[in-house]
Amino acid sequence: MTGYFLTLEGIDGCGKSTHARRVADALTDAGREVVLTREPGATDLGQKLRKALLETEGPVSDVAEVLGFAADRAQHVDEVIRPALGRGEVVISDRFADSTRAYQGSGRGVDREMLERAIELATGGLSPDLTILIDVDLAVARERSAETASDRLERESDAFFECVREGFLELGRREPHRISTIDGSGSLEETAAAVLATVHERLPDLIRSA
């Protein structure tokens, strides 16, 4: 049995975490073994890195941020993702390398070549079979996340998040074979139906081989 690697991406407040859980539940009901995970913070080391990266009060250099998230990802791939794929399971990750491209690349303006080197080193070339990008405008995202505790990145300016959003959309335009962009501005049920329909359409063997 072949393992599958799915990722969900988007700006904070887009609903990706909710829909990652819904996809995991649907695939579990269909008979697949599913590992639901996230970045950063899916491992013991990752939890420590997450706290350092997102809760530090002082300044964090752009390069330190890139390398911190890369370290979290390297451990995540080694400890969680590759072993599960090797067992033929479905791995669903709430964020992966595209978040680095959008947040640190488009948001921070970090050199793209350097980012890709860091991503390659952390992932060993591992790429998702399918990435679902849930797109919402910034006003909707801010409203949805208004009551949640904010971390260092979530406190960034609207201008920063507009750049991040555009970065995600550009990735979707550049890699339509891997990334499916879904309008997440509708109701929870409407978006959930669109996400599941995309999984069925883009990875039909995922259900048939269950």
Segment 51-101, tens digit of pLDDT: 999 988 888 999 999 999 999 999 999 999 999 999 999 999 999 999 999
What is the spatial distance between Cα 141 and Cα 120, in angstroms, rounded to a whole number? 30
Confidence grade of residue 49 (pLDDT, cut at 50, 70, 90) = very high
Q: Which CATH superfamily is domain 4-208 in?
A: P-loop containing nucleotide triphosphate hydrolases (3.40.50.300)
Per-residue pLDDT, 208: 66
Q: What rounded mean pLDDT belongs to the chain?
A: 93
Q: Which residues, including other chains, have CB under 8 Å from residue 27's CB and lie 6 or more apart?
A: 34, 90, 92, 199, 206, 207, 210
φ and ψ at residue 173, rounded to 5 degrees = -70, -35
The structure tokens 């208004």 sit at 146
| 1, pLDDT greater than 90 | no
In terms of phi and psi (left: phi > 0; alpha: psi -120 to 50; beta: otherwise), the region of 88 is left
For residue 88 the two structure tokens come to: 């033929």
| 209, pLDDT greater than 70 | no
C-alpha torsion 124→205→192→50, nearest 10: -20
Confidence grade of residue 154 (pLDDT, cut at 50, 70, 90) = confident
3 state SS of 91: strand
**What is the domain partition of the chain in residue ranges?**
4-208
